[in-house]
Amino acid sequence: MTQAYRNQQKEIEHVQEFIDRFRQVGSKAAQVQSRIKTLEKLVRIEKPRTPRKPFKFSFPQPPRSNQKVIELTKVGQAYGAKRIYKDLDLTIERGDRMVLVGPNGAGKSTLLKILAGHLEIDAGKREPGYATKIGYYSQHRSEALNDDNTVLEEVLAACSTLREEEARSILGSFLFRRNDVEKRCNVLSGGEKSRLNLVKFLVDPPNLLLMDEPTTHLDILSIDSLVQALKNYEGTLVFISHDVHFIRNLAETTLHVNNGTVTRYTGGYDYFIEKSGLNDDRSAVTA
């Protein structure tokens, strides 16, 4: 594609040179006219976009939390008459990289909201560690953005050590092109807000990152950028994803949520599949 574009550009230049050189020469008038026609009729190959490059930037690390990041004890939660959890115990420790899997409607998002403190529990205790600083990311919710800031300003404001070119490059990796970074936050689409929030979490990371389906508004390249950033992240990560590639890359512990029970597997996705014997029933896993 790139080569075809280059060849055509050479050809156009060549013809154009002829036109420019002989435009004023009466005896060449017919040839010049015919070449002008050729150029007009030419179906132009679109200039290939330069591929986005993965950024070279080591994201800042969050302040260290206590060993015990958060603990749920005998937690109960229901939506009206619909009980989701009863007597749920869960401890998350520093450095855990945990994925929540399970069928649709199992209660994964509910559990993440309980951990985030976004949902009232009707029984039990939720105790974050003393130094735990929580960031909760969900496609359905965005942290407040400063409407008057441009996208670029918003990211720069989140991290005082970030240089402008680094911010542009990170934003580029998350699908904000050159002009997009000058947009004001109040005109952004839902997807753009979501991606901007993601970038802000990466440049100013909390030490407990709770993410509900973070790859939803991303393409393959930006998913890879996110994987790289999260691999480098030294805080504690609990996430929900239906993307097996994403899970395989990041999860070291798997929590299977099903019918109000939460089963812990101390290994990544493949370990979980092997131990749980659920490989024949994908709907029970990541449907």
Ligand X SMILES: Nc1ncnc2c1ncn2[C@@H]1O[C@H](COP(=O)(O)OP(=O)(O)OP(=O)(O)O)[C@@H](O)[C@H]1O
The binding site for ligand X (CB under 6 A) comprises 79, 82, 84, 102, 104-110
Lookup result for tokens 């409607």: 105
- Contact flags string 207-226 toward Mg ion, x per CB under 5 A: --------------------
What's the min distance (Å) between Cβ of 191 and ligand X? 18
Q: Which is nearer to ligand X, 65 or 253 (CB)?
A: 253
Residue partners of 278: CB distance under 8 A and separation at least 6: 256, 272, 284, 285
From the list ligand X, Mg ion, none, partner contacted by residue 84 (C-beta under 5 to 8 A by kind): ligand X
What is the chain written as a DSSP string? -HHHHHHHHHHHHHHHHHHHHHTT-GGGHHHHHHHHHHHHH--PPPPPPPPPPPP--PPPPPPP--SEEEEEEEEEEEETTEEEEEEEEEEEETT-EEEEE-STTSSHHHHHHHHHT-S--SEEEEEE-TT--EEEEETTB-----TTSBHHHHHHHH-TT--HHHHHHHHHHTT--TTGGGSBGGG--HHHHHHHHHHHHHHS--SEEEEESTTTT--HHHHHHHHHHHHH--SEEEEE-S-HHHHHHH-SEEEEEETTEEEEESS-HHHHHHHHT-TT-GGGTT-
From the list Mg ion, ligand X, none, partner contacted by residue 105 (C-beta under 5 to 8 A by kind): ligand X
Q: Which is nearer to ligand X, 77 or 253 (CB)?
A: 77
Q: Which is nearer to ligand X, 78 or 227 (CB)?
A: 78
Q: Judged by CB under 5 A, does residue 258 bind Mg ion?
A: no
What's the min distance (Å) between Cβ of 108 and Mg ion? 5
Q: Report the alpha-carbon distance of residue 234 to residue 245 in Å, rounded.
A: 20
What's the min distance (Å) between Cβ of 139 and ligand X? 10
User: What's phi and psi for 230, nearest 5 deg?
Assistant: -75, -30
What's the min distance (Å) between Cβ of 141 and Mg ion? 12
From the list Mg ion, ligand X, none, partner contacted by residue 258 (C-beta under 5 to 8 A by kind): none
What's the min distance (Å) between Cβ of 176 and Mg ion? 26
Q: Which is nearer to Mg ion, 55 or 137 (CB)?
A: 137
Q: Which is nearer to ligand X, 145 or 284 (CB)?
A: 284
What's the min distance (Å) between Cβ of 143 and ligand X? 20
Q: Which is nearer to ligand X, 34 or 104 (CB)?
A: 104
From the list Mg ion, ligand X, none, partner contacted by residue 106 (C-beta under 5 to 8 A by kind): ligand X
Q: Which is nearer to ligand X, 103 or 235 (CB)?
A: 103
Tell me how many residues contact Mg ion (CB under 5 A): 1
What part of residues 94-123 is at the interface with Mg ion (CB under 5 A)?
Answer: 109
From the list ligand X, Mg ion, none, partner contacted by residue 107 (C-beta under 5 to 8 A by kind): ligand X
Q: Report the alpha-carbon distance of residue 197 to residue 136 in Å, rounded.
A: 10
Question: What does the block give as tokens for 229?
Answer: 């950033």
What's the min distance (Å) between Cβ of 246 and Mg ion? 15
Name the residues that contact Mg ion, by CB under 5 A.
Answer: 109
